[in-house]
């Protein structure tokens, strides 16, 4: 297998997956909070190279692979006919393959017709991870996500309508302690409203952690952006959970960035989650240290 660098990123749930690099970097790569692909210039790898890598993976792993994640940050941007070639090769090469998953950029998703997305799902594209971050236009502009809230919602809805298992991520604490990025209640309530309309199967709520070398990381160092306190983040998480009505929804807030790990299902675990948050706010549950990215 060939990778462009030693820095390989994947969703936490894809730890057992073979990582097949189809694109280099992220097509947007403007988000102020994200440092994952800042050193990479985005490009799509030639399909023939990708197919060769699949043969290399067969030689290395054997025919028993069950999961594949298509890297880097936005492989769904690949032309549909080329993606169909990649999917066919994967399923032909690995007869026990169960899932092929991908990060989906919202603009790249919207560049495909609903029919194209359905065709990709029928060819074996199982799951898409969509970084929503917020349902607030104010916050999306602040973090330079590159789309409006309406566009983000439409991208998620199209993935769901195509039959693709949608896993959404959002970020708590994104507005800052002083409201530099917008009003925190509007951020959370508009995010819950978007998720309710989008109806993903999975939702992960992460917490903003400043990353070195990013615009927001530099703002934190310069005092232009103040990171939210743990209690504030818990209040945001509580408000989010109170307002989610997707049923069923697999909910996680147990990333390395989160102070209080939560994992379960909504609506059945709502009261348990709210009770845990209240106990944490009262100091009855010890909070863990969060992700340290070197700021």
Residues 38, 9: Cα–Cα separation, whole Å: 13
Confidence category of residue 99, pLDDT binned at 50, 70, 90 = very high
Q: How large is the average pLDDT for residues 227-245?
A: 97
* Residues 57, 107 contacting (CB under 8 angstroms): no
Give the model's pLDDT for residue 289: 83
pLDDT in tens, 100-114: 999 999 999 999 999
C-alpha to C-alpha distance for 231 and 229, rounded to whole angstroms: 5
Tell me the per-residue pLDDT of 239-277, one tens digit each, with 9 for 90 and over: 999 999 999 999 999 999 999 999 999 999 999 999 999
Find all residues with CB under 8 Å of 140, minimum gap 6, and list them. Answer: 133, 134, 147, 148, 149, 152
Number of domains comprising the chain: 1
The HSE-up count of residue 287 (CA atoms within 13 Å, CB side) is 21
Give the separation between CA 105 and CA 231, rounded to whole angstroms.
Answer: 31
The number of beta carbons lying within 10 Å of the beta carbon of residue 219 is 18
Q: Which domain, by its residues, includes 90?
A: 12-281
DSSP bridge partners of 133: 170
Residue 3 is assigned to a structural domain of this protein = no
CA triplet 269, 272, 276: central angle to 5 degrees?
135
Asked if the structure places residue 263 within a domain, the reply is yes
Q: Is residue 231 part of a domain?
A: yes
CA distance 158 to 161: 5
CATH of the domain at 214: 3.20.20.70
| In a domain? residue 266 | yes
On whether residue 292 sits in a domain, the answer given is no
In a domain? residue 288: no
69 and 14 Cβ atoms separated by less than 8 Å: yes
Output the six-digit token pair for 133: 């971050």
Judge whether 240 lies within some domain: yes
pLDDT tens-digit readout, 153-186: 999 999 999 999 999 999 999 999 999 999 999 9
48 part of a folded domain: yes
pLDDT at residue 92 tops 60: yes
How many angstroms separate the CA atoms of 263 and 251, rounded? 6
For range 208-233, the mean pLDDT: 95
């Amino acid at each position: 297998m060939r990778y462009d660098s030693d820095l390989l990123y994947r969703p936490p749930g894809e730890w057992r997956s073979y990582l097949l690099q189809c694109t280099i970097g992220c097509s947007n790569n403007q988000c102020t909070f994200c440092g994952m692909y800042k050193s990479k210039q985005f490009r799509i790898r030639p399909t023939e190279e990708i197919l060769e890598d699949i043969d290399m993976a067969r030689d290395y792993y054997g025919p028993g692979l069950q999961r594949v994640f298509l890297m880097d940050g936005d492989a769904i941007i690949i032309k549909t006919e080329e993606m169909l070639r990649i999917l066919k090769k994967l399923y032909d090469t690995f007869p026990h393959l169960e899932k092929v998953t991908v990060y989906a950029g919202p603009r790249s998703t919207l560049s495909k017709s609903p029919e194209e997305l359905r065709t990709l799902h029928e060819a074996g594209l199982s799951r898409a991870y969509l970084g929503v971050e917020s349902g607030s236009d104010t916050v999306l502009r602040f973090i330079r996500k590159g789309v409006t809230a309406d566009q983000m919602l439409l991208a998620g809805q199209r993935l769901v309508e195509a039959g693709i298992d949608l896993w959404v991520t959002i970020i708590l604490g994104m507005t800052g302690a002083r409201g530099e990025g917008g009003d925190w209640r509007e951020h959370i309530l508009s995010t819950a409203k978007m998720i309710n309309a989008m109806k993903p199967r999975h939702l992960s709520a992460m917490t903003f952690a400043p990353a070195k070398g990013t615009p927001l990381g530099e703002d934190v160092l310069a005092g232009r952006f103040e990171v939210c306190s743990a209690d504030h983040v818990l209040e945001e998480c509580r408000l989010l959970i109170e307002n989610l009505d997707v049923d069923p929804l697999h909910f996680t807030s147990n990333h390395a960035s989160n102070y209080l790990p939560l994992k379960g299902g909504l609506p059945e675990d709502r009261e348990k989650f709210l009770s845990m948050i209240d106990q944490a706010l009262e100091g009855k549950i010890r909070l863990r240290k969060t992700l340290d990215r070197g700021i």
